[in-house]
Amino acid sequence: MKNIYKNLKHLHIVYLFSITIFMITISCNNNVSSVDDKEQLEKKFYSVKGFVSYIFLDLNDSTQRQDTMRTFDNQKIKIYLYNIVNFDSVLIRSNGEFVFDKVKEGSYIILINDKSYNTFTRQINVPPDTNLNILLEPNKDIYCKETFTVRGYVWDQPIEDVSGNYLRGVKVYLDKGLLYSDSTITDGGGGFQFNNVCKGFHSITVDSFGNFYQYYHRKIYVNENFYFLLYIQGKKADYFPFDENTRYKFKYDFWSFSTNGEVSHNEGTSSWNVDSVKYEPNLKTYFVTDTFKTASNTTYRKIIISINQYNRVKIKGLPMVDTVSFNRFQDIRRPEIISVPTHSFEYGVSIKRNVGLYKITRYLNRLSEVYQRIE
């Protein structure tokens, strides 16, 4: 009997121990479950919103082409937001705005698929991608029903001492920076051609070719096959960099020949120093002292140099260049420019790029007078 009681007592202890272990296990499982549920409950929801616009290509004959962002008046277009477990869609409002509410964090795909526009798709992460701006491209096959050919030649704009010529290897752009832009390279004869160009307003652009030519941009309207010559000009540089610190020094050389064969020669130096500057609306005037030295004497002369808002330079006070007028910005392809101050070709003024006044000459019957820049 004692043995039976002892065994029962042992079984009771085992039973109590098992029950205790079971309860502890259930408690642990409940704790894990509650943690998972808490994490799920604490997982945040977000609003994904933004604006959709599209580029409007106005091909109306009576208006100029516009490449502007437009919104969706009277258009019912859906935008989709989805991943492997979630799928949602909303209509884009007339002002282009859209809002997706209660979006769980994660990776999603944004999709707009409408026949009037090229399909738009973008992968986003929520967060941080909760504010979006979307720009749609119009479907070219729908809006572009008439096409033409645009062709032409790129020509080097001739200047006085540089003859013009066709330019090969120049990059020409059609609608640079806009939708459906195109580019080509001029061939050996300077020719270029664009095919399948939509009816309407377009732009032709040529970037500066090398270091010598200016940027070229022109608007054209295409309603038939289009042909034209495109002239590009040389870049401009400052041929008269004159300011308060300018110092000119010339070597002076004078020759005269009398009728009886006698030769007279005189030489010396001429130094220009800026004394003061007067600023007026659209005009800057420099007051200069010319120190003119020869072997026999020294003479001081007052010279006035003015530069207006059009960069036109005038020099007064020096007999050889009195009333000279020229533009300080000239075509960079000309290293030196000879300007004629009067209607007579007996006088000349030379200016050099980034140097300034370089030479002054006067050639009359039996007389030669030259100012040659030396520093």
Tokens linked to 228: 């034209």
Instruction: Report the alpha-carbon distance of residue 167 to residue 229 in Å, rounded.
Output: 12
Position 333 scores a pLDDT of 80
Instruction: Report the alpha-carbon distance of residue 209 to residue 270 in Å, rounded.
Output: 41
Q: For the chain, how many helices (H) and strands (E)?
A: 2, 27
Which residue shows structure tokens 């705005």? 97
Position 221 scores a pLDDT of 86
pTM greater than 0.75 (yes/no): no
Tokens linked to 179: 């939708």
> CA angle 149-152-155, nearest 5°?
165
Position 68 scores a pLDDT of 47
For residue 363, how far is the Cα from the chain centroid? 48
Instruction: Report the alpha-carbon distance of residue 101 to residue 46 in Å, rounded.
Output: 7
Position 65 scores a pLDDT of 41
Cα dihedral 330→331→336→342 (10° resolution): -50
CA distances 47 to 52, 71, 153, 227, Å, are 16, 21, 55, 53
Q: Are β-strands 367-373 and 356-364 bridged in parallel, bridged antiparallel, or unpaired?
A: antiparallel
Digit-by-digit pLDDT tens for the chain (375 residues) are: 444 444 434 544 444 445 555 455 545 555 544 545 555 555 688 999 998 887 665 444 333 344 445 556 556 789 999 998 889 999 888 888 999 999 999 999 999 998 878 899 999 999 899 999 998 877 777 777 788 999 999 998 877 666 678 888 999 999 887 767 889 999 999 999 999 888 888 889 998 777 788 888 988 888 899 998 988 888 888 888 888 888 889 998 888 888 787 888 888 898 989 999 999 999 999 999 999 898 888 989 898 999 999 999 988 887 777 767 888 888 888 778 776 555 455 677 888 888 888 888 877 777 888 888 987
Residues 219 and 203 sit within 8 Å (Cβ to Cβ):
yes
CA nearest 197: which of 212, 180, 214, 185?
180
For residue 101, how far is the Cα from the chain centroid? 40
Residues 135 and 53 sit within 8 Å (Cβ to Cβ):
yes
Bond prior to 138 in cis (omega within 30° of 0)? no
**DSSP letter string over 32-62?**
HHHHHHHHHHH--EEEEEEEEEEEEE---TT
- For the chain, give the longest Cα–Cα distance: 170
